[in-house]
């Protein structure tokens, strides 16, 4: 299984208009095919763009793009390969942390531990 690079735009309460504008600006820059390829090369990840140049990618990520281009070879799936309840809990905790200045790192860790216990224990 391969998951290409991804990013989320927060929006919602706690995200100022300036922050949201900056997030959209970063996304528009990063998803340009050439810039996305350079960004992915620095991260060691697979670009989100199928038309991203492969010349700077490592062999594994170039192979991923080649494999994804083969008709019927892969299945596009917007979900992660993992427990969806856990994934949702992690993202909810992250969004809450980023949107509320009063939440501490310890609060965030406690939330993750509580969610993990509720789902898996």
Residue 66: predicted pLDDT? 92
Residue 20: predicted pLDDT? 87
Residue 78: predicted pLDDT? 59
Low-confidence ranges of the chain (pLDDT < 50): none
List, as one string, the DSSP characters of 40-84.
Answer: HHHHT---S-TTS--TTS-HHHHHHHHHHTSTTS----SS-SS-H
Residue 104: predicted pLDDT? 95
* Environment class of 46 (CB within 10 Å of its CB; exposed 0-12, middle 13-18, buried 19+): buried
What's this model's pTM, rounded to 2 decimal places? 0.50
């Amino acid at each position: 299984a391969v998951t290409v690079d991804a990013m989320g735009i927060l929006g919602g309460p706690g995200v100022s208009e300036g922050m949201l504008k900056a997030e959209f600006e970063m996304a528009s820059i990063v998803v340009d095919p050439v810039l996305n390829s350079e960004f992915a090369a620095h991260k060691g990840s697979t670009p989100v763009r199928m038309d991203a140049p492969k010349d700077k990618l490592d062999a594994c990520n170039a192979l991923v793009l080649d494999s994804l281009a083969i008709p019927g070879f892969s299945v596009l799936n917007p979900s992660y390969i993992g427990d969806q309840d856990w994934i949702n809990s992690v993202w909810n905790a992250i969004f809450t942390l980023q949107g509320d200045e009063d939440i501490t790192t310890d609060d965030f860790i406690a939330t993750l531990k509580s969610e993990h216990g509720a789902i898996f224990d």
